[in-house]
Amino acid sequence: MKQLKNMFFISALTFLGFSCGKQQEAVPLDKHSIIPIPVSVVPAAGSFTLDGKTAIVLQADPAQVQLIGEYLKSSISTLTGLNLNIAQEDRDNAIVLALDATASDEEEGYRLAIMDKKILVSAPQPAGLFYGIQTLKQLIPAHGGKIPGVNNQFSLPQGSIEDHPEYGYRGMMLDVARHFFSVEDVKKLIDQIAVYKINHLHLHLSDDQGWRIEIKSWPLLTTIGGANEVGGGKGGYYTQDDYTEIVRYAQSRFITIVPEIDMPGHTNSALNAYGILNPGITVPEATAVPVDRKALGVEEEDPDATPYHTGIEVGFSTLDTDSPVTYKFIDDVIREISELTPGPYFHIGGDESHVTAMEDYIPFIEKAQEIVTKYGKKTLGWDEVAHAKLLPTTVAQYWAKAENAIMAIEQGSKVLISPAVKAYLDMQYDSTTHLGLHWAAYIELDEAYNWDPTELEAEIRREHILGVEAPLWTETITTMSDIEYMTFPRLAAIAEIAWSPKTARNWEDFSRRIAWHGQRWEAQGKNFYRSPKVEW
Ligand code: TNX
């Protein structure tokens, strides 16, 4: 194989050497490395030449597509160094972005036609154009100066692609509670996951170790509850303006933010701030650290408030499900966050409430669900919420127990598929991985790829499934580089499960395609796990 590679290298050099002045040969469209793999790819002979004179032509109301055109322009500039003009009139040597109701029957679908003198990206909705652009970017043979075009020309193979997603919800979750991540980090992640046509980012905004979003009616949540993290660091939080900035940025990448406030368990950070919410829980002694309220500028002592939890043990905290103050509290929190959130979902957590009696847990979840509805949102909750009576609009996120997911389905709810054994990005790749946990499984790249949401349980069928989400819990994750290492390449595998038809997916082919993505990530300076299952 190595010999073969060397031969290829030599012949490529020879080719470049002897064809000085000519552009590189385009890899035929059916030998592409597109992830997620499209529904249909039809190659044709010949190529399109992208160069400095190529224009981006907008064939649609600029109010709807101007930003998408600019995104394409800046993407091409980063990949190739070319600075393209954006124009309104049709012409040759153009990439045309067209809103066209006939381009696809599917809401997020698109068509990409690469012809001799034109590339046409068409879609019924702006989202489809954005996805068409993601596909197009993966056909440009340059990674940001590392594979320069000859004479600044880049060849793209002719042919056409028709594509649309299998599932409407394609998500990733980032836990910003165990460790806090800046707005800049979250934006960077949004850019990275948008490439793989992920369209939801679930933010786990509160947990035992930290409260990460400003709530104006309960200000100590962030002043006190935000000032801790796993290991006892200083934590951090998003102001409401920060959160809005994340929501807007995500929108520009066609990503919906799903906010989560975990309740009634996983709530120690709220109990650090307000003793009145504390039913008398015990923080694990080994990792409990007293809160120095004065040092945080809070004069009044609160003897009922809890110490910080700096460890990673779960299941010891709960809100007081009998107290009216609890419901005033969650009403305020759900209201303030819902007002800042254009997306349809509010995630109430509901997992691992081990110290909440089931007879208290059930009415609590039902009340929380009513409050979410009152503020115009649909409830998402971890699979345990299926013990309560769910509204038909409520979605249960299957992470641990199939029986819970099935209970939700029997109640008429849909399920979001995130099995820890397949889709958890915090699970180690193997026993040598220096980050992450392995309580559910070791998940190598092929394990993350080789499964299907419809094949987990006979009772969980296609029509019950809203989509797929890959959560990244951050007990052991502290930097952007750590996030990248655990997320890539596995998120690309999950994204293909969520977007591509089952019949088009195949591990051998995926492992070939992902190698090309590794080159691009390397050129971008992005960290990733070089799985031994792939010839990078
Ligand atoms: C289980 S997944 C949890 C989280 C942890 C995660 C670590 C879920 C709903 N609960 O609290 O962070 O395991 O893998």
Assess whether pLDDT exceeds 80 at residue 517.
Answer: yes
**In whole angstroms, what is the distance from residue 79 CA to residue 57 CA?**
19
Q: Whose CA is nearest to atom 9 of ligand 1?
A: 351
In tens, the pLDDT along 17-52 reads 333 444 556 889 999 999 999 999 999 999 999 999
382 lines ligand 1 (CB under 6 A): yes
Confidence of residue 2 (pLDDT cuts 50, 70, 90): very low
**In whole angstroms, what is the distance from residue 493 CA to residue 507 CA?**
9
Q: Whose CA is nearest to atom 4 of ligand 1?
A: 473
Per-residue model confidence (pLDDT) at position 10: 38
**In Å, how far from its chain's centre is CA 505?**
20
Cβ(496)–Cβ(449) below 8 Å: yes
* Helix locations, 375-479, DSSP H: 402-410, 420-423, 445-449
314 lines ligand 1 (CB under 6 A): yes
Q: Which of the listed residues 258, 399, 473, 476 should we mutate to test ligand 1's pocket, taking the one with most ligand atoms within 8 A of CB? A: 473
Say what percent of the chain tops pLDDT 70.
Answer: 94
Assess whether pLDDT exceeds 60 at residue 11.
Answer: no
Residues 6+ apart with CB under 8 A from 8: none
In tens, the pLDDT along 420-476 reads 999 999 999 999 999 999 999 999 999 999 999 999 999 999 999 999 999 999 999
**For the chain, give me the number of helices (H) and strands (E)?**
15, 19
245 carries an active-site annotation = no
473 lines ligand 1 (CB under 6 A): yes
Peptide bond into 264 cis (omega under 30): yes
**In whole angstroms, what is the distance from residue 199 CA to residue 152 CA?**
33
In tens, the pLDDT along 79-102 reads 999 999 999 999 999 999 999 999
**Angstrom distances, CA of residue 470 to CA of 43, 279, 424, 486:** 33, 33, 6, 11
**Angstrom distances, CA of residue 507 to CA of 37, 92, 319, 528:** 12, 39, 45, 19
Cβ(413)–Cβ(392) below 8 Å: yes
Per-residue model confidence (pLDDT) at position 145: 64
Per-residue model confidence (pLDDT) at position 268: 98
DSSP string, 87-151: ESS--SSEEEEEE-TTS-SSTT-EEEEE-SSEEEEEESSHHHHHHHHHHHHTTSS-SSSSSPPBT
Each residue of 430-446: b (16+ CB within 10 Å) or e? eeebebbeeebeebbbe
Tell me, what DSSP letter sits at residue 38? P
Q: What's the 418 CA to ligand 1 centre distance in angstroms?
A: 11
Q: Which of the listed residues 176, 267, 351 should we mutate to test ligand 1's pocket, taking the one with most ligand atoms within 8 A of CB? A: 351
Type of residue numbered 479: T
Q: What's the 312 CA to ligand 1 centre distance in angstroms?
A: 10
Q: Per the residue annotation, which of 162, 352, 447, 457 is the catalytic one?
A: 352
Confidence of residue 152 (pLDDT cuts 50, 70, 90): confident
For residue 240, what are its two tokens? 């409401």
Q: What's the 424 CA to ligand 1 centre distance in angstroms?
A: 9
Assess whether pLDDT exceeds 90 at residue 172.
Answer: yes
Nearest by Cα to 418 from 438, 395, 388, 397: 397
In tens, the pLDDT along 293-314 reads 999 999 999 999 999 999 999 9
Lowest mean pLDDT among 18-27, 167-176, 188-197: 18-27
Per-residue model confidence (pLDDT) at position 144: 79
Whole-prediction pTM value? 0.95
Give CA torsion, residues 377, 383, 389, 390, to 10 deg: 30
Q: Which of the listed residues 314, 398, 415, 435 should we mutate to test ligand 1's pocket, taking the one with most ligand atoms within 8 A of CB? A: 314
Higher model confidence: residue 27 or residue 257?
Answer: 257
Say what percent of the chain tops pLDDT 90.
Answer: 92
Per-residue model confidence (pLDDT) at position 148: 56
The alpha carbon dihedral of 453, 455, 456, 459 has a sign of: positive
Q: What's the 473 CA to ligand 1 centre distance in angstroms?
A: 7
437 lines ligand 1 (CB under 6 A): yes
Atom number in ligand 1 closest to CA 382: 9
Q: Within 13 Å of residue 459, how many CA atoms lie on the same side as its CB?
A: 16
**In whole angstroms, what is the distance from residue 273 CA to residue 182 CA?**
22
Per-residue model confidence (pLDDT) at position 24: 57
Nearest by Cα to 260 from 484, 467, 483, 473: 473
398 lines ligand 1 (CB under 6 A): no
Lowest mean pLDDT among 25-39, 108-122, 244-258: 25-39
Cβ(269)–Cβ(212) below 8 Å: no
Average pLDDT, the chain: 94
Q: Whose CA is nearest to atom 7 of ligand 1?
A: 473
**Angstrom distances, CA of residue 306 to CA of 231, 272, 373:** 17, 5, 31
